[in-house]
Amino acid sequence: MERSAVFVIPFMAGFVFALTVLAVRYLWWLRGLRKQAPGKLPAVLFSHKTLSAINEIFNEAILHRRILKRNRRMGFMHMSLAVGWGMMILGGKFETWFHTGRFFHDTWYAVFFRYFEPQVVGGLAGAFWLHYMDLGLLVVLSGVTLAVIKRIKKKVLGIKNTTRHSRVNRLALTFLWLVFPLRLLAEAVTFGQYGGGGFLTGTLGKLCFTSPMCAVVELPLWWAYSLVLGAFFVVLPFSRYLHIPTEMVLILLRHWGLRASTELKPEEGLQAFEVHACSACGMCLDVCPAIGQQPFQAAYFMQAIRSGKGWEKMATDCLSCGACENACPVNIGIENMRVAARGKVHQDYMAKHDYLPTLSTRERRSANILLFTGCMGRLKPGITEAVKQLLEEAGLSWVHLDEKDSICCGRPMALAGRTDQAATMRAANEALIGSYRAGMLVTTCPICLNQFRNEYKLNIPVVHHSVLLWQLMSEGRIKTERGLECFSYHDPCELGRKGGHYNEPRELLSACGNLLPVDREKSESLCCGNTPGSLSLSLKDRQNITAATLKVLEAPHPDKIVTACPLCQHNLSRQSKVPVKDIAEVLAGVLISTSTQAHYSHEAETIEA
């Protein structure tokens, strides 16, 4: 039937505006990738990398599997919005193709198809499309309902914190909440007046909108639907909902091998896509150890980077524990961006390293192990001595690398964004390590571990002392007498989330006594509150973070709290009511030495005789 199409103008205006702004912004951001990969994109466009990217886009941008794994209710909310909208977009295209026999139509035609062709049936196939489109609408509406509940009573969705949004984001959120209820009402009124409809819109139309008086609200409802949808598209490029298309492009660029700049360039290259792919979903808020502190959590840091205001302090306050990056469903390189921001903050700071020791001309002796205890090793000599005792017990030869020629691993400088100074320290350490004929570098500090593993060019393996001790125990070179003490274990951020070592320390503790479970452990473990990542966080805020961590660790009433990081041990012990020990100290305390083993063996032989 001939019906007016004037009301589609707001939708089309908003849609064209959004496409234009997106095209301009994406082209502007992509300019930063030309130097990184000249001529590379055409070669990978039709490769397996593109297929792999499409697979990830479907799993993460549509199904939101990472969010589902962490929180099923939140995951379902995001998935239903994406899947339902996707169903309606694709379904609308195929539905119009089925009924008209033409695949190509005006952009607005599929969006408002039921207004123009309310009585199209088409047999069983036509009925299928009616119910299919209603199903997509129902899926979206379920997501919108959960989103509203999230704002009113967030605990229903299993979260403690929601992101505070800017005015533009709140406006966009309002439009998004209104779009699909208005579509439901508009289609229901049309079907109520002309008959037909699916299980949702048709039923609602028959129940509520069959009266001739309802005809007066039909066109206004379609106008309202068009206006709100068009308004949403207008604000989309300037709101957090820019993440919807941007996340897909980001995934594609990553699979093509492109990487973000090490400098802070939030409007250029892959970093620009990362900044704008953040949906402010709030998954990072609940895992941040600074909940209730100053709002420097990842979601707010990304907001500040986008706006260009207030990011400096947010960058330097952060503890760099990696919890937010571990929880981010988009895998945004948050820590690298903070480091780049810190480099921008401290770009005028100059450091000299004339004090660094030069290599001695004396010949270095060979050893099984180079032991590097780092800056904290001097503050916590008990841990160093415990490790040395256990290495001797295992019959290994070792050299304490930084006992005299002490040089920092460079991680604090790197976290401060001072990449040149960190490189100077690395060069000095590489030369020192290379002068020994050693089979392995062992660190007592997880921070040093990751720095040596990831930033150095060494030709020997780098191992944390807890992992080496676990290997030695597994081989029977270290034996312990299992006691009755109960332990709660704290996963250091750098050893667990960043190093991937969760099981080895637990195996060691289980051989020493009883290991108690705690509420926040492994990848969900809380930060001790004192890392070299934070440059400006106040002492009070640090102490609050430590207190929150200790509350979790002390909950099962352990005899000792155990960790595998000297910085964590030092920081936790200052506020803990329970003794805090390093895992090497616990192991050394229950060690059955070779002399003791020989004594036990002699006694056994005497009893048998």
- Looking at the structure, do residues 193 and 328 belong to the same domain, yes or no? no
How many residues appear in the chain? 609
Higher-pLDDT residue of 534, 229? 229
Percent of the chain with pLDDT over 90: 67
Residue 122 lies in a domain: yes
**pLDDT at residue number 161:** 86
| Tally of domains within the chain | 4
Q: What is the mean pLDDT of residues 195-200?
A: 92
Residue 374 lies in a domain: yes
According to the per-residue pLDDT averaged within each range, which of 15-19, 87-91, 277-281, 477-481 is highest?
15-19
Residue where a domain terminates, one of 416, 448, 464: 464
Q: pTM for the full model?
A: 0.86
**pLDDT at residue number 491:** 97
**pLDDT at residue number 604:** 31
**pLDDT at residue number 416:** 86
Q: Which residues are registered as beta bridge partners of 464? A: 443
**pLDDT at residue number 365:** 64
Residue 143 confidence (pLDDT) above 90 = yes
Residue 492 lies in a domain: yes
Interatomic CA distance for residues 542 and 571, integer angstroms: 10
Cβ contact 528:546 at 8 Å: yes
pLDDT-derived band at 261 (thresholds 50, 70, 90) equals: confident
Q: Which residues contact 420 (CB under 8 A, 6 or more apart)?
A: none
Sign of CA dihedral 44, 46, 48, 53: positive
Residue 105 confidence (pLDDT) above 50 = yes
Q: What is the mean pLDDT of residues 388-407?
A: 88
Residue 385 lies in a domain: yes
- Looking at the structure, do residues 63 and 101 belong to the same domain, yes or no? yes
Residue 1 confidence (pLDDT) above 70 = no
Residue where a domain terminates, one of 177, 204, 238: 238
Domain range for 458 is 367-464
Cα–Cα nearest to 506, from 517, 520, 497: 517
Higher-pLDDT residue of 365, 513? 513
Interatomic CA distance for residues 217 and 376, integer angstroms: 73
**pLDDT at residue number 534:** 79
Residue with tokens 């959120």: 173
pLDDT digit string, tens, across residues 557-567 = 999 999 999 99
Task: Say how many C-beta atoms besides its own lie within 10 A of residue 599's C-beta.
Answer: 12
Averaged pLDDT of the chain: 89
Residue 507 lies in a domain: yes
Q: For residue 469, give both structure tokens.
A: 């001790």
Residue 355 lies in a domain: no
Residue 59 lies in a domain: yes
**pLDDT at residue number 138:** 97
